[in-house]
């Protein structure tokens, strides 16, 4: 009998960590090993693959590891990613981020290291690549696909904003954590009779604010897809607070939300590898402006504000049930495609069914809240109507 393996699969995780990544890695690895493939885990996303030294005597242990059932079973029930992650765009590497051993060759302000990535994949003997990430990580996967490499991608992001799929790994746990944390804060809001401003992730898409609000965690939400009027928001929140027997109200604020006539709020001038400036601070501004306006709608009496950024607390810890089951299915779906010789696909959930679509969808469109379908722009909250035949988490770009 032939002992030749059918091939070597490389798997990586890029962008922000979310619960559900380790179950996805586990699913891919166990199925692949049982089908006879070898699996290499690439550390730190595209960063580990970029930093590799093509010398058999070099210590490349920080950049990759061979995956076994023992390794992935131990990690598969935990949150985060044991392969680690980074926000690396190998097509536009800043001069100071070029690996030391490549700096004589690449010394522009921005450098395309795709040639090195392809050589490193060949050096490791990787035949197929399964990246798990959001639209930034997967946009570089599209680049490798165009270079002729065999890629099958898995969508991950707590914002749920990868185009082409109704669901991305990490979203359910994010919503669950947001609801739980908000409910914990209610005792404080009620005790002090305040308005609570909770800032949540969501650069361009408001799903992480919309779903918890729809589930009853907040009275109102403001999202990146619709610029809000701060006076109208203050009026609504004062009304909500004064009609609550416990005398408090809550608004969820997406980090990418903007005031009417304003722009996104950034922490500083630094940008990541994909050109995104770090967001943060909209919750502080909303809190300050609300405090200044509450008396106008509360018979001249100012209402104090509780301002809390939920941030990384919603992406930590173990995955919930959905983020344990969906990654398992996504990983096996990726192997189904690979075994059939099908590449250049993104595994997805559409209309409650597992499927796959062309990988290029991640660079060909944007996934944001369909405002007309799902958001009440006067009441600053989701619409609670027309749920028939909607997917599990209600909202998609297509409505």
Catalytic residues: 159
Quote the CA–CA distance of 362 and 110 in Å, as a whole number: 23
Is residue 24 within 8 A of residue 327, CB to CB? The reply is yes
- Spatial contact of 108 and 91, defined as CB atoms under 8 Å apart: no
Long-range contacts (CB closer than 8 Å, 24 or more residues apart) made by 49-56: 49/10, 49/12, 49/90, 49/117, 49/120, 49/121, 50/88, 50/90, 50/93, 50/99, 50/113, 50/116, 50/117, 50/120, 51/99, 52/120, 52/123, 52/124, 53/101, 54/119, 54/120, 54/123
Measure Cα distances from 217 to 101, 263, 381 in Å.
51, 27, 11
> How is residue 129 annotated by DSSP?
E
Centre a 10 Å sphere on the Cβ of residue 121 and count the other Cβ atoms it contains: 21
Pairing of the two strands 195-200 and 249-254: parallel
Query: b/e per residue, 286-303, with b = 16+ CB within 10 A?
Result: bbebbbebbeebbeeeeb
- Grouping H, G, I as helix, E, B as strand and the rest as coil, residue 355 is strand
- The helix (run of H) or strand (run of E) holding residue 178 is helix 171-192
Distance CA 277, CA 119 (A): 31
Nearest Cα neighbor of 11 from 20, 1, 27, 3 is 27
Looking at residue 97, the DSSP 8-state letter turns out to be G
DSSP-derived secondary structure letter, 108: S
Q: 199 has which bridge partners?
A: 253, 309
Q: How far apart are CA 124 and CA 11, in angstroms?
A: 12
CA distance 29 to 67: 7
């Amino acid at each position: 009998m032939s002992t030749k393996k059918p091939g070597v699969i490389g798997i990586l995780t890029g962008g922000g960590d979310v619960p559900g990544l380790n179950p996805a890695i586990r699913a891919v690895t166990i199925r692949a090993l049982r089908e006879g493939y070898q699996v290499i885990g690439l550390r730190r996303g595209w960063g580990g693959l970029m930093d590799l030294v093509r010398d058999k005597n070099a210590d490349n242990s920080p950049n990759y590891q061979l995956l076994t059932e023992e390794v992935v079973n131990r990690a598969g029930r935990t949150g985060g990613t044991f392969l680690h992650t980074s926000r690396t765009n190998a097509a536009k590497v800043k001069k100071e981020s070029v690996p030391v051993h490549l700096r004589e060759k690449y010394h522009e302000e921005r450098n395309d290291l795709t040639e090195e990535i392809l050589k490193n994949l060949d050096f490791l003997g990787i035949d197929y690549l399964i990246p798990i990430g959001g639209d930034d990580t997967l946009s570089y996967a599209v680049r490798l696909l165009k270079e002729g490499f065999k890629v099958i991608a898995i969508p991950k992001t707590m914002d749920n904003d990868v185009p082409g799929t109704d669901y991305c790994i990490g979203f359910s746990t994010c919503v669950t954590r947001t609801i739980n944390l908000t409910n914990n804060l209610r005792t404080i809001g009620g005790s002090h009779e305040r308005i609570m401003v909770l800032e949540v992730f969501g650069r361009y898409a408001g799903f992480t604010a919309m779903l918890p609000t729809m589930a009853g965690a907040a009275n109102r939400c403001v999202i990146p897809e619709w610029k809000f009027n701060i006076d109208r928001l203050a009026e609504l929140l004062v009304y909500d607070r004064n009609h609550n027997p416990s005398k408090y109200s809550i608004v969820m604020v997406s980090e990418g939300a903007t005031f009417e006539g304003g722009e996104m709020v950034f922490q500083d001038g630094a940008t990541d590898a994909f050109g995104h400036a770090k967001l943060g601070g909209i919750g502080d501004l909303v809190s300050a402006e609300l405090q200044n306006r509450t008396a106008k709608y509360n018979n001249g009496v100012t209402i104090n504000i509780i301002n809390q950024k939920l941030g990384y607390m919603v992406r930590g810890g173990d995955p919930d049930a959905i983020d344990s089951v969906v990654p398992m299915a996504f990983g096996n779906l990726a192997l189904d495609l690979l075994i059939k010789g099908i590449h250049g696909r993104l595994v997805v959930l559409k209309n409650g069914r597992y499927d796959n679509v062309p990988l290029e969808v991640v660079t060909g469109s944007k996934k944001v809240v369909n405002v007309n379908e799902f958001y009440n722009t006067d009441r600053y909250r989701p619409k609670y109507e027309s749920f028939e035949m909607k997917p599990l988490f209600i909202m998609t770009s297509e409505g």
